[in-house]
Amino acid sequence: MGIARRRVGRGLIFLVLCLVVVIMLFPFLFMVLTAFRSRDQYLTGQGFSLDSWRELFKFLPVVQELINSAVVTGGAVLLIIAVSTTGGFAFAKLGFRGSGFVFLGILAGMMIPMQSIIIPEFVNIARVLHLNNQYLGAILVYAALGAPFATYLMTTYYRGVPTELVEASVMDGASYWQVFRKVMLPLSIPAITTVAVLQFIQVWDDLLVGLLFLNEPHVRTITVGLAVIQTGRVVNVPALMAGSLLSALPAILVYLIFQRNLIQGLTMGVNK
């Protein structure tokens, strides 16, 4: 009876997981099928063609928008990594006066809704720094939004590294900068990979910041470009799905390539 119950339980769990997989993958399957249909084929639900892709490249400068997205996302991720690794090392190992209050302030920054601060940020970027519709302006905004969580994750990770390792390096004559660069950074590759992947997906898929700070055609990202398609009286659903598929592929590829490193970084941070 015990073996039979375990088998029934495992069977139910398997069925539930299959149902979850179907629910999660159905929108993606719909997007893929619709992306390879024309308008008429989409309405009838039969046949496949590349008309939607031709219309997508006709309506939007897709290549330029993908380049814009890559530049903004890459710059923001690099800046977030630079801030979070140095800040995490300082909070975890240097123990300067008032570090606890500063760290609490960073944690509080994670709890502030982005919608409540996006207008003041726009005023600062556009009127004070005059960086509206420039890559640097969007990069700074994304870095400010992503740095608190990344710093918290890196601080948690560095606290798990034995302090004796830092002290031994200092006794051998290494400066704190050398300890950070030659000891801590190599040890924190899994955590850095986790931060990079999570922030890449977050920044690449973001729409709100792009709409506010990168609304000119020459700096527009792919997500903002897809929003432009929906501004017409009649939405070209197949072209929109084709663009959505093209926009989703980089984030999916990054996740699949670094999936093992991502899981390793998260679990190591939890275990420590």
For 126-147, the pLDDT digits (tens) are: 888 888 899 999 999 999 999 9
For residue 1, the model assigns a pLDDT of 60
Q: Which of 181, 217, 195 is nearest to 143 (CA)?
A: 195
Q: Which of 179, 216, 201, 217 is nearest to 257 (CA)?
A: 201
Locate CATH 1.10.3720.10 in the chain.
60-271
For residue 73, the model assigns a pLDDT of 95
Tell me the per-residue pLDDT of 190-244, one tens digit each, with 9 for 90 and over. 889 999 999 999 999 998 898 889 888 889 999 998 888 776 666 788 888 999 9
Percentages of the chain per state (helix, strand, coil), in multiples of 5: 80, 0, 20
CB 240 within 8 A of CB 247: no
For residue 272, the model assigns a pLDDT of 46
Tell me the per-residue pLDDT of 6-17, one tens digit each, with 9 for 90 and over. 777 788 888 999
> What is the dotted CATH code of the domain comprising 60-271?
1.10.3720.10
Chain mean position to CA 69: 12
Q: Which of 243, 255, 203, 191 is nearest to 73 (CA)?
A: 203
Instruction: Compute the average pLDDT of residues 72-77.
Output: 96
Greatest mean pLDDT among 32-46, 65-79, 149-163: 65-79
Q: Looking at the predicted structure, is the pLDDT value of residue 82 above 90?
A: yes
% residues pLDDT > 70 (the chain): 94
Chain mean position to CA 173: 39
For residue 74, the model assigns a pLDDT of 95
Instruction: Compute the average pLDDT of residues 95-121.
Output: 84
For residue 164, the model assigns a pLDDT of 87
For residue 116, the model assigns a pLDDT of 84
Measured distance CA(119)–CA(126) in Å, rounded: 10
Q: Looking at the predicted structure, is the pLDDT value of residue 270 above 80?
A: no
- For residue 138, give both structure tokens: 């969007």
Q: Looking at the predicted structure, is the pLDDT value of residue 81 above 50?
A: yes
Question: What residue has token string 């629910």?
Answer: 23
- For residue 39, give both structure tokens: 């308008």
This prediction has a pTM of 0.86
CB 220 within 8 A of CB 214: yes
Helix (H) or strand (E) holding 71: helix 62-89
For residue 136, the model assigns a pLDDT of 93
Q: Looking at the predicted structure, is the pLDDT value of residue 271 above 60?
A: no
C-alpha dihedral sign at 27, 31, 75, 145 = negative
Helix (H) or strand (E) holding 210: helix 208-213
Q: For residue 124, what is the DSSP state?
A: I
Instruction: Compute the average pLDDT of residues 27-44.
Output: 88
